Amino acid sequence: MASGEQDVSEVALKGASAPMAVAASRAAVLRRLRLTDAIFHGLTRGASLAVLALLSGVIIALIYGAAPALSTFGFGFLFDESWNPVTERFGALAPIFGTLVTSFIAMLIAVPVGLMVAFFLTELCPKMLRRPIGIAIELLAGIPSIIYGIWGLFVFAPFMQEHVQPLFINTFANVPVLSTLFAGPPYGIGMFTAGLILAIMVLPFVTSISRDVFDAVPPVLKEAAYGVGCTTWEVFRYVVLPFTRVGVIGGFMLGLGRALGETMAVTFVIGNAHHISASLFAPGTTISASIANEFTEAVGDLYTSSLVALGLILFFITFCVLAIARYLLLRLQQQGGK
């Protein structure tokens, strides 16, 4: 408190043991302080520039690696379903389709469930249960994806093949659209199973972020709503969700990012087939699964290059998702400001 009026250099000088001319040492100390600041400044800027350099390096490397495939197949690469290493004709449509469909299934399940879990934890859950459930969900996020893959293949897929898929196929056999979506034979593994596994993997991201933002809702808002006679559902729908939508969308995007890029678990249960079929039970493939499966043994430049091109497309898709998320958040914030 007493040193509140002291010069910075005087404070710094207190540590100096050898007595010296005050003016000279003050200049030296100031120089030293400036130097440290300059170094710190440079380091932080360097770190930021390094990230930028890395990013552009990745993009350049991807474009360079993908060039042979893209120049051979042109834009048709995006719309070609065939993936034939024998005749060296490659197209990205099947992996793109698989990536989008499995991520869509995952989000369709994980978002509503995640929001409900988060709301239960913040509003309705007895205090005693709150911590155990919260920790359990965070542990779910910590499980390595290979474990999900092995569990999916050895436990979940046989269960799907014997119980769930026959039930779906038989139940919806005569329903127009659903009979195509859930057409047999039951393989156990396939796009649907991959989507479900992804949903489980994405769930903790959606839940824990939603829970954090739900916690941030001022109690006075909720209390006021309950006070005028709102039901719990109405509080959730008209008070909590509107107040937290930015954070919720952030959690949604984080989950979607993971679903789009997830590799190991998907590879185990999707069936790795370069096909597009209307049935969700059919085997398919995703971009990251194709790369993981085939890269080491891709013989020939065009094959390798096509896989790199797949990577470039995934990069682009993820970039678009992030851009859309930013745009949505921006608009929401503007609306919120009104």
Partner 1 sequence: MKFAKIALTASALALTSWTAHAIDISGAGATFPYPIYAKWADAYKKETGNSLNYQSIGSGGGIKQIKAKTVTFGASDAPLTGKDLEESGLVQFPMVMGSVTPVVNLEGIKPGEMVLDGPTLANIYLGQIKSWDDAAIAKLNPSLKLPKQAIVPVRRSDGSGTTYNFAYYLAEVSPEWKAKVGVNTALQWPVGIGAKGNEGVAGNVAQTKGSIGYVEYAYAKENKMTFTKLINKAGKAVAPGSDTVQAAAASADWNSQPGFGVILANQPGDKSWPMAAATWILMYKKPEKMAESAEALKFFAWAYTKGDAMADSLDYVPMPDNVVKDIMKMWSAEIKDASGKPLYSPTN
Please give the residue ranges that form the binding site for partner 1 (CB under 8 A): 82-87, 153-154, 157-158, 161-162, 184-190, 267, 271-274, 283, 285, 292-294, 296-299, 303
* Residue nearer to partner 1 on the CB measure, 161 or 207: 161
Closest contact distance (angstroms) between CB of 103 and partner 1 is 20
* Residue nearer to partner 1 on the CB measure, 156 or 252: 156
Closest contact distance (angstroms) between CB of 289 and partner 1 is 8
268 and 196 Cβ atoms separated by less than 8 Å: no
Helices 241-261/93-119 angle, 10° precision: 140
83 strand-pairing partners = 90
The pair of structure tokens assigned to 336 is 């919120």
* Residue nearer to partner 1 on the CB measure, 83 or 252: 83
In terms of C-beta distances under 8 Å and separation of at least 24 residues, what long-range contacts does 217-221 make, across chains too?
217/243, 217/244
14: helix, strand or coil = coil
Question: Which whole-number Å values give the CA distances from 81 to 95, 110, 259, in the listed order?
Answer: 9, 29, 22
89: helix, strand or coil = strand
* Residue nearer to partner 1 on the CB measure, 103 or 165: 165
225 and 235 Cβ atoms separated by less than 8 Å: yes
d(CA 33, CA 295) in angstroms, rounded, equals 52
* Residue nearer to partner 1 on the CB measure, 103 or 263: 263
Tell me which residue of 110, 122, 111 sits closest to 236, measured CA to CA: 122
Closest contact distance (angstroms) between CB of 286 and partner 1 is 12
Stretch (H or E) spanning 273: none
Single-letter code of the amino acid located at 181: L
The pair of structure tokens assigned to 132 is 């155990």
291: helix, strand or coil = helix
Closest contact distance (angstroms) between CB of 158 and partner 1 is 6
Closest contact distance (angstroms) between CB of 240 and partner 1 is 43
Stretch (H or E) spanning 84: strand 83-84
251 and 278 Cβ atoms separated by less than 8 Å: no
* Residue nearer to partner 1 on the CB measure, 5 or 297: 297
Closest contact distance (angstroms) between CB of 77 and partner 1 is 16
* Residue nearer to partner 1 on the CB measure, 189 or 248: 189
Closest contact distance (angstroms) between CB of 86 and partner 1 is 4
* Residue nearer to partner 1 on the CB measure, 151 or 226: 151
Residue 187 has a CB neighbour count (10 Å cut-off) of: 18
Closest contact distance (angstroms) between CB of 200 and partner 1 is 18
